[in-house]
Amino acid sequence: MAVRVSAELEQFQDRIGHRFAEPELLVRSVTHGSLGTPTRPNNERLEFLGDRVLGLVMAEALFKADRNASEGQLAPRFNALVRREACADVATQIALGEVLKLGRSEMISGGRRKQALLADAMEAVIAAVYLDAGFEVARDMVLRLWGDRVGGVARDARDPKSALQELLQAQGLPPPEYAEIERTGPDHAPVFTVELRTQAGHKLQVKGAGTKRQVEQMAAQRLLEKLEGDDNG
């Protein structure tokens, strides 16, 4: 029996730039385990495959982009491109959460916005395209969706907290301090306000969603950019 594709999934295909010859692959890729049944497969197996396809695409892209980079330089760049945060960011960019098929409990708990769920579904979509049209088509889609992230990954691969600590230590200063000023929002989607302080007199506050560590990284990145801008000026 032919699978009916909803209007929302028709639009989603436009956003990812691929029309499925086998629409059932698309439907399976956006069906979460909370809704899957023996007669309605979920996307867990596709996640497994998509993770490997994404890894090969990025390993090949990085290998070709910088032929002088060592394995030690390529590894953190690779990790930055395939990690959960990157996959969830791309998923948000293409509004993948809007087309996810979720069970009632996941829907109520904000599943369409959960980073882990979005990242897994993004990998499942990659696998679905791979099975539908082959590696080259999947690779082209991934590189198109990841866009400038691939070219700028040498900078993005830095761990901002570690880089800031190293910079301060080079100046004879102790590591920075991070203080949680406020936490708002529901448990499944908290928003943190973090204050970063250094003994050199720097102080800034950053507010963001995700985990507290992610917001601390945002604060460190912001101070790094300020310090590097001052140096270049």
Write out the catalytic residue numbers: 51, 123
Can you give 123-167 as a three-state secondary structure string? HHHHHHHHHHHCHHHHHHHHHHHHCHHHHCHHHHCCCHHHHHHHH
Annotation: binding site: 47, 120, 123
Residues in the chain: 233
List the binding residues for Mg(2+).
47, 120, 123
CA distance 153 to 90: 15
Residue whose token pair is 């406020």: 182
Do 173 and 179 meet the contact criterion of CB atoms below 8 Å apart? no
Note the Cα 205 to chain centre separation in Å: 24
Name residues whose C-beta falls within 8 Å of residue 35's C-beta, 6 or more positions apart in sequence: 42, 101, 102, 103, 106
Measured CA distances, 105 to 32, 98, 101 (Å) = 12, 16, 12
Per-residue CA distances from 104 to 95, 107, 111, 222 (Å): 20, 5, 10, 39
CA distance 78 to 71: 10
Q: Specify the 3-state DSSP secondary structure of 155.
A: helix
Q: Comparing C-alpha atoms, which of 110, 120, 113 is closest to residue 97?
A: 113
